[in-house]
Chain A
Amino acid sequence: MLDNFNNLVSQFWPQTMDGLIKGSIYALVALGYTMVYGVLRLINFAHSEIFMIGTMGSLVVLTTLGISSPVSGVALIGLLMLMAVVGMLASGGTAVLLEQIAYRPLRKRGSSRLAALISAIGASLFLAEFFALVVIPWLFDRPGQGRNIIGVKRFMQREELFTIGNLTVTNDQVLVLGAAVMMMILLDLLVNRTKIGRGIRATAQDPQTAVLMGVNIDRVVRTTFLIGGAMAGVAGTLWLLKYENTRFNIGFLLGIKAFTAAVLGGIGNVRGALVGGFVLGLVENYGASFFGSAWLDVVAFIILVLVLMFRPTGILGESLQVARA
């Protein structure tokens, strides 16, 4: 037991840093779950594949430009921007298309929420398999190898920025964390300060009244999917930067974790996704440090259950609607 405490203490700062990095990616993906849930009360299970498509979109930029060695300075900023934009377009575009094909027809027919959920699971499986069988072999010229890991050559040199005790902070860590937090702040402003955001909040609060007030629900839903998808696209770019690999099923585990983060923070709540992501990332790494990595998921889900026991609506509670409507 004492050993376990020693582990936790000696590894505390590195585990904290890595937990926050992991958490920031959870949070970006969690946004897609939380916003769609807020507006439609639908758990969009295919969102994990939207993230995967974001990594693929970003990867296409790298392969098209033929980047095989690290770039720096303005070229790096330009490259990252381009990767993020293409990733966002790929993810956002797929999310909008998905809504159009898999969810809207069901909604128009007034089917039960369960039907939409099944549709979401089906779409998730379809997208992953479609990419493994068709898109990845074609896009990256890998016939018959759609299920393999795609490694990415390092495109940003890693440098140590500073060291405090046993914590070494590197430039990629700062970039991932900074970019994720910046995107969250931008999104928060979008939801709370703009006309589009007002439409989203109104729909989340009361769809019927929103229609009567002149809100075009279809457009709001489409915008929500677009924004949520775009955030997953950014997450995809950051994933490639940090982990330097992707695969047709890369979104599977991350999707589960991001959904957990959304519930932990308060599903439907945009700021909750950020808090949930960071808390989950940290708890996982502290738990793993103390009990061993085999216990990582056990610890994470015990915390989830405990939080939901005392705060059934998550840490920040409730959804888009009540949070400053």
Chain B
Amino acid sequence: MKIGFIGDLTGDNAAIVIPPRNGAQLAIDEYNAKNPKVKIELVPLDSKADPSTAANLAKTAITEHKVVGIIGPAFSGESQQVQPILEEAKIPSVSPSATRTALADAGMQFWHRVVANDDVQGPAAAEFVARAVKPKKAFVIDDKSAYGQGLGQAVQKALGSSAEVQTDSFEATATDFSSTVNKVAAFNPDFVFFGGYYAQAGPLLKQLRDKGIKAGFMSGDGSLHTQLIEGAGAEQAEGALLSCPCKIAYAWAAQDENSKKFTDTFKSKFSGQLPEIYATEGYDAASAFIKAIEAGNTDPVKINDFLKTVDFQGLGKQVKFTDKGEVEDKNVYIYQVKGGEIVSVGNSTEATIG
């Protein structure tokens, strides 16, 4: 039996799509190793993050590969295009990483995701900042993307009453941030928040630190990647905070036995690569399908019916879907860069920073 994986496997964002693909592969290999009656094959389909390509791939997956389910698409834009195609063909899908809130409101019966939506992370991250960091002067930066801006605004709103806030935003393609850095330096805040992706977060953080700005730094799941440390430099990245509605296995390895085991297996299987962001979700998405198939379901519609009732402890969270296909678990976790590595500091509602 075949399950498709749709996502950007060779494009600019491959660094956050290959991990969930590998996570799913790992889950399926573990299942196949048990010599079950029906073996599963994962068919990776490279969309290069282009929605129309993803739509075509979904059609190919249905007609040529005769898949019984899709893991993905990885991003929200492509998910929106693929949703109606899978709905019509009655093929269930579970996305590991598409977080746009509106995806759940399209009334789809065959669509699911194992990651909480954008509306969950922003307020939780902001509450954490207001509670644990308690900045007096905060500077909020975003990259003008729908994701970065939304996150930045949520933080700004939550800090509004308790801190003096200034903002700035730049293009998502910018590489020199000197104008923003000078604004931050002039404002002299004790906390800086960035809503955007790791490719910019790293160099931005480095340029802030080089200007002598010592304020605390925080960003969201878009920057939660070892590439942040690569771009900023270990010394400059030290202490940076990150939030995510997900469990990063290697960051949880010290606290959680399953995460440690997953990290070790992942690293040995994929030539030393860390299970970066969404690897856990890829594993959990594949596990949901595996549970359905183990229960003897071979038909896509039956698998979908099973997904509606599925309820098990996954690697990252309790996997249980709402009527709309959202995952019920809405925990947001805080991470911090310590000694050049990303480590977990716990749930956003209780995490404290030293």
Contacts and interface: CB of A to CB of B under 8 A. Distances in A.
B14 A293 contact: no
A288 B180 contact: yes
A293 B233 contact: no
Nearest to B231: A149
A310 to B, nearest CB: 26
B12 A245 contact: no
A14 B185 contact: yes
Interface in B169-195: 169-171, 173-183, 185-186
A224 interface: no
Contact of A151 (B10, B169, B230): B230
A285 B179 contact: yes
A318 interface: no
Interface in A131-157: 133, 143-145, 147-151, 153-154
Contact of A244 (B186, B206, B271): B206
Contact of B174 (A15, A149, A245, A253): A253
Nearest to B237: A151
Interface string A248-267: 01101110000000000000
A7 B233 contact: no
B179 A294 contact: no
Contact of B203 (A153, A154, A243, A253): A243
Contact of B179 (A10, A249, A296): A296
Given A143-B271, A145-B15, A151-B231, A296 B170 contact: yes
Question: Could you say which interface size class chain B belongs to?
Answer: 35 or more
B173 A293 contact: no
Interface in B132-173: 144, 168-171, 173
Interface stretch (A18-26, A39-47, A74-82, A207-215): A18-26
A311 interface: no
Contact of B171 (A143, A154, A297): A297
A294 B168 contact: yes
Contacts of A194: none
A168 B11 CA distance: 40
Contact of A10 (B10, B18, B186, B207): B186
A293 B175 contact: no
B179 A293 contact: yes
Contacts of A289: 179, 182-183
B233 A153 contact: yes
A253 B199 CA distance: 14
Contact of B182 (A250, A254, A285, A296): A285
B179 A149 contact: no
A158 B211 CA distance: 11
B32 interface: no
A11 interface: yes
Nearest to B229: A151
Contacts of A49: none
Nearest to A26: B176
Contact of B178 (A19, A149, A151, A245): A19
A288 B177 CA distance: 10
Given A143-B271, A144-B18, A294-B170, A284 B179 contact: yes
A5 to B, nearest CB: 13
The main secondary structure of chain B at its interface with chain A is helix
Contacts of B231: 149, 151, 245
Interface string B20-52: 000000000000000000000000000000000
A166 interface: yes
A11, A149, A154: which has the most chain B beta carbons within 10 Å?
A149
Nearest to B12: A147
Interface in B188-220: 198-199, 202-203, 206-207, 210, 212
Contacts of A133: 10
Contact of B233 (A19, A154, A166, A285): A154
B297 interface: no
B233 A244 contact: yes
B14 A11 contact: no
A294 B144 contact: yes
Contact of B169 (A19, A166, A247, A292): A292
A148 B197 CA distance: 13
A253 B12 CA distance: 15
A302 B18 CA distance: 41
A118 B230 CA distance: 35
B182 A11 contact: yes
Given A21-B178, A243-B203, A293 B186 contact: no
Interface centre among B14, B18, B183 (most CB of A within 10 A): B183
Nearest to B226: A148
Contacts of B181: 18
A22 B180 CA distance: 14
B175 A151 contact: no
Given A147-B12, A158-B210, A288-B179, A245 B203 contact: yes
B53 interface: no
A3 to B, nearest CB: 10
B81 interface: no
Interface in A266-302: 284-285, 288-289, 292-294, 296-297
B349 interface: no
Contact of A7 (B171, B186, B210, B230): B186
Interface of B: 10-12, 14-15, 18, 144, 168-171, 173-183, 185-186, 198-199, 202-203, 206-207, 210, 212, 227, 229-233, 271, 273
Interface of A: 7, 10-11, 14-15, 18-19, 21-22, 133, 143-145, 147-151, 153-154, 158, 166, 168, 243-245, 247, 249-250, 252-254, 284-285, 288-289, 292-294, 296-297
14 contacts: A18-B176, A21-B178, A22-B176, A22-B178, A147-B11, A148-B227, A149-B227, A149-B231, A151-B229, A154-B233, A253-B174, A285-B178, A288-B180, A294-B171
